[in-house]
Structure 1
Amino acid sequence: MYRSAGVAMAWNVFRFCTALRGLGSIMILLVLVIVGVTYYAVVLCNYGPALLAGGATTLAALAVLLLFHFLLAMLLWSYFSVVFTDPGSVPPNWNLDFDAEMGETAPLASSEFSSQMNSQQSVALGSMGNPRVRYCRKCNQLKPPRCHHCSVCGRCVLKMDHHCVWVVNCVGALNYKYFLLFLFYTFLETTLVTLSLLPHFIAFFSDIDIPGSPAALATTFLTFVLNLAFSLSVLGFMIMHISLVSANTTTIEAYEKKTTPHWIYDLGRKRNFAQVFGNDRKYWFIPAYSEEDLRRIPALQGLDYPVRPDFDGQEL
């Protein structure tokens, strides 16, 4: 009875993961449709025609359109950077470098580790000298620190935060910054659209005669409601991730370490921030890294993360 229930649950999870994979192009298309509807409402229906009004109205419309197009360009750049950037996968034959000064033994080869796992199923990984050593039975390989297996992608992802259906990709070590910038520019863009369309939304419920076709008015109303909803929801999501970055943790790790008093990777807000955004300020607000940061900050590669100096090996 329990066996059949377990098989049914595994089958259902597999179907769920397969369904998420199938959402790929649909979710990207949905994002582009929302962007297109917003563009039509803001540029073609309202502020584009306002450029011909003259005076202060023209200047206000020009300011809105310039800021709108800048934020839209940054939003799309960040979005497609998340979509097309591999979040980070485990290199072939990867093995953890052990610290001899901490009294740890030499690392095992993948085949040796697998053999030992098969012969000593009851032995905990922590007894091997390093509690950060983990093994993925699905991928049949060692897992680097902070690495987790994604059932949707079907592989281990470096510093995995979550699998996001909106970007049709995992959010991990190599694209986490791009994801945060996508949230940031989405919030700014949706807030701008909400504020710029607010007078039109208010006029929609007043006795004022509003120029434009019924389709344009309906699109403006829909765009205002959509952008207001996205702005509020993204704000909450962004605040959550800001707190995660400040503590140098991920969504998965925050859940796993609920009872851990001290997080071993929390090096202080400044160093935690640098492990996601780098040190070069010119690159903080664009989805890219400087060569200097990539060379000097190993954490940006997703495999090597420094720990607190007071880490005693028992806090995981």
Structure 2
Amino acid sequence: MARPGTDNKGSCLLCLKAVKWIPVLFIVTIVAWSYYAYVVQLCLITVENTLGQVFYLIFFHLFFFMLCWSYGQTIFTDIGKVPSTFKISDADFEAYLHHNNSLEMQNRILENYAKTLPVTNVTIGGSVRFCDKCKTIKPDRAHHCSVCGECVLKMDHHCPWINNCVCFTNYKFFVLFLGYALLYCIFICLTSLPYFIAFWKGDLRGMGRFHILFLFFVAIMFGVSLMSLFGYHCYLVLENRTTLGT
């Protein structure tokens, strides 16, 4: 028999997990709408030149596919959890807690366990980096993510737009996603610009012209944001650093 309040707690956790997917759903909705606005309203209805339609559709679908693939890989790639060899035994953890008034004794316990581990980074005080929530000695560049509830290898940051940690396992896909998303926005801006100008001249007719108008503005807005973010992460890659400074 379940304890009183257990069901309510489980329902709250499910609701919290569902809420975390709202930013992802927002991005997916924007991308799906951009597909309709570009393919249907711009290419199939507005563009009259058949050769132009073919050119636009081929390159658009190339960028669209790469954008969706990299975004999906970034979201659904499992976070890089710290190997079990870095987790101290229950007996050592009990001894660690027993000496909670002596930092020297605690550090001695951790140093003794970390002798066989490839760990070089230490705290500002020179102690072994340890996560008492995961009972794990932290490998270099590993950090505890409070959202995921795990110590994550080479953690960069927890991104709400992918509902996942950007870390060792999916950082490549994250950078690719930023790059392909930027190319996607640039392509849309360049190819829709003549029709955006035609809109302001009054040469476009029908309700579809508003889709083209908003498509251009949305592509510009996201493109500017992505340009700075992609450039920043390219800099971090060249410097072999993360946003956490390691």
- TM bracket (short chain): 0.7 to 0.9
Query: Which of residues 175, 192, 203 is equivalent to 1:209?
Result: 203
Unaligned runs of 5+ in 2: 1-13, 123-127
Query: Which of residues 158, 179, 183 is equivalent to 2:178?
Result: 183
- 2:57 is the counterpart of 1:65: yes
- The 8 Å contact of residues 139 and 155 in structure 1, kept in 2 or not, is answered as yes
Q: Deviations over 1:120-175 (max 9, x none)?
A: 64238599485443110222222111100111111111100001111110111000
- Taking every aligned residue pair, what percent have the same amino acid on both sides? 37
Compared with structure 1, are the counterparts of its residues 209 and 137 closer, same or farther at alpha carbon in structure 2 (3 Å cutoff)? same
Aligned residue number for residue 171 of structure 1: 166
1:93 positional shift: 3.8
Compared with structure 1, are the counterparts of its residues 226 and 19 closer, same or farther at alpha carbon in structure 2 (3 Å cutoff)? farther
Aligned residue number for residue 242 of structure 1: 234
Aligned residue number for residue 9 of structure 1: none
1:24 positional shift: 3.0
Aligned residue number for residue 197 of structure 1: 192
Alignment of 1:145-294 (within 5 A): 145-206=140-201, 208-211=202-205, 213-214=206-207, 216-253=208-245
Query: Which of residues 103, 110, 113 is equivalent to 1:122?
Result: 103
Unaligned runs of 5+ in 1: 1-17, 96-107, 255-316
Within 2, Cα distance between the matches of 1:167 and 1:150?
Answer: 15
Within 1, Cα distance between the matches of 2:35 and 2:218?
Answer: 13
Within 2, Cα distance between the matches of 1:158 and 1:74?
Answer: 26
- 2:17 is the counterpart of 1:36: no
- The 8 Å contact of residues 82 and 139 in structure 2, kept in 1 or not, is answered as yes
Alignment size in residue pairs: 219
Q: TM-score, normalised by structure 1?
A: 0.63
1:177 positional shift: 0.2
Structure with bigger RCO (C-alpha 8 Å, 6+ apart): 2
Within 1, Cα distance between the matches of 2:94 and 2:200?
Answer: 68
Within 1, Cα distance between the matches of 2:56 and 2:166?
Answer: 32
1:28 positional shift: 2.4
Q: What amino acid does structure 1 have at the position aligned with 2:159?
A: C
1:235 positional shift: 0.6
Within 2, Cα distance between the matches of 1:119 and 1:229?
Answer: 54
1:60 positional shift: 2.4
Compared with structure 1, are the counterparts of its residues 78 and 135 closer, same or farther at alpha carbon in structure 2 (3 Å cutoff)? same
Compared with structure 1, are the counterparts of its residues 204 and 218 closer, same or farther at alpha carbon in structure 2 (3 Å cutoff)? same
1:50 positional shift: 5.6
Compared with structure 1, are the counterparts of its residues 231 and 110 closer, same or farther at alpha carbon in structure 2 (3 Å cutoff)? farther
Q: TM-score, normalised by structure 2?
A: 0.79
SS at match of 1:149: strand
- 2:68 is the counterpart of 1:87: no
Compared with structure 1, are the counterparts of its residues 110 and 91 closer, same or farther at alpha carbon in structure 2 (3 Å cutoff)? farther
Within 2, Cα distance between the matches of 1:183 and 1:191?
Answer: 12
1:20 positional shift: 7.6
Compared with structure 1, are the counterparts of its residues 162 and 131 closer, same or farther at alpha carbon in structure 2 (3 Å cutoff)? closer
Query: Which of residues 69, 73, 92 is equivalent to 1:112?
Result: 92
Within 2, Cα distance between the matches of 1:29 and 1:240?
Answer: 25
